[in-house]
């Protein structure tokens, strides 16, 4: 059979959240074939299919704006997580 998944994650390492990064991976058979990274600001393809899809996705301004906006959601959630952890210590 085939295995397809999509992993979306927020990564940060400081309390001021200025270095937060949003990553959206599209995975087929355990290999990332396309990825959106908020630091890069666009989709990057890692296979022939991924490169093709990255070109399509990067030409869709609405889709790019939606992905870029995910950084703000990451910041809001990270702030909540950090407050919760700080309150418990």
| Cβ–Cβ < 8 Å for 74, 22 | yes
Binned at pLDDT 50, 70 and 90, residue 17 comes out as: confident
Give pTM, 2 decimals: 0.85
Q: Give φ, ψ of 63 to 5 degrees.
A: -65, -45
pLDDT above 70 (res 89): no
Q: Which residue in the block uniquely carries the two structure tokens 């700080």?
A: 86
**CA triplet 72, 40, 3: central angle to 5 degrees?**
85
pLDDT 10s digits, 39-86: 999 999 999 999 999 999 999 999 999 999 999 999 999 888 888 877
């Amino acid at each position: 059979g085939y295995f397809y998944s999509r992993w979306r994650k927020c990564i940060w390492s400081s309390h001021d959240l200025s270095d937060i990064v949003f990553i959206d991976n599209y995975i087929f058979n355990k290999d990332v074939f396309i990825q959106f990274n908020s630091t890069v600001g666009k989709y990057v393809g890692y296979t022939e299919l991924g490169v093709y899809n990255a070109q399509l996705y990067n030409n869709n301004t609405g889709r790019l704006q939606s992905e870029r906006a995910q950084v703000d959601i990451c910041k809001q959630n990270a702030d909540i997580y950090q407050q919760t952890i700080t309150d418990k210590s």
